[in-house]
Amino acid sequence: MAKITLVDDDENIVTSVSLALESHGHTVKAYYDGAAGLAALENDPPDVAILDVKMPRMDGMEVLRRLRRTSEVPVIILTSKDEEIDEILGFNLGADDYMHKPFSQRLLIERVKAVLRRAGRGEPDDPASPAAAADVNARALKRGKLTLDPARHESLWDGKPVKLTVTEFLLLQSLAQRPGFVKSRDNLMDAAYDDQVYVDDRTIDSHIKRMRKKFREVDPEFDAIETLYGVGYRYRES
């Protein structure tokens, strides 16, 4: 069903998680250190990457940071660290989801399914998959200088490509569908995350901050995403 790259230095976790994922039809390639994992992710991109944070040679955050230079493959971060700053850092670097060890393998399977659905790789008969969504979510969307093409996962600003993660793309699509209308953080969570995935307000803020930075790299004057403090965000069509 999906190609998954798992990078974790704990052999027990690699074995148990690989067996769980393969029992659901996925193909898993496992690596035990960050450097080997990064090389594999760059040479043979999977549908989903699962990265541990604490690993030899290169930690998961550094793997994610380097990966995001060239790839927007969906990434789920695993960590035994129960510190909020690690979660925020992961989302700032472009992670799509986050799980703390110890975790339920069943929950991890559901998180993988959710990420695949959001990336447009869900099962065809899955009512939550983009393939079964309303046409409005599938058509190319143009708002001023912005063009979003969900079918190609393509984002352009004034004709210049802007690489967005799956989560960033869904957030921007939700905002741009109704320019001028305010979307609360809860609205944006519903648009970008599966019902079984909980994130807090700061996660949405981290994604918006990262998205703005990407657009300002191609247009320093980019200001289409407005913050209404205490309320939410809205897209301003110039």
Map out the domains of the chain as residue ranges.
3-118, 134-235
Q: How confident is the model at residue 96 (pLDDT cuts 50, 70, 90)?
A: confident
Q: Which residue has the higher pLDDT, 121 or 213?
A: 213
Instruction: State the average pLDDT over residues 146-152.
Output: 87
Give the rounded percent of residues in the chain with a pLDDT score beyond 90. 42
The pTM for the full model equals 0.65
Structural contact between residues 225 and 233, judged by C-beta atoms closer than 8 angstroms: yes
pLDDT of residue 32: 94
CA–CA separation, 234 and 228 (whole Å): 8
Surface-to-core class of residue 13, CB atoms within 10 Å of its CB (0-12 exposed, 13-18 middle, 19+ buried): buried
- The mean of the pLDDT values for the chain is 84
Q: How confident is the model at residue 130 (pLDDT cuts 50, 70, 90)?
A: very low
Each residue of 172-186: pLDDT tens digit?
Answer: 999 999 898 999 888
pLDDT of residue 117: 81
Q: Which fold has domain 134-235?
A: Arc Repressor Mutant, subunit A (1.10.10)
Angle, helices 185-192/166-176, rounded to nearest 10 degrees: 130
Instruction: State the average pLDDT over residues 140-149.
Output: 90
Q: Which CATH number applies to 3-118: 1.10.340.30, 3.30.930.10, 3.40.50.2300, 1.10.10.10?
A: 3.40.50.2300
Q: Find all residues with CB under 8 Å of 88, minimum gap 6, and list them.
A: 202, 203, 206
CA–CA separation, 107 and 227 (whole Å): 33
Tokens matching residue 87? 């979660």
Instruction: State the average pLDDT over residues 117-136.
Output: 51
Tokens matching residue 198? 């909980």
CA–CA separation, 24 and 21 (whole Å): 5
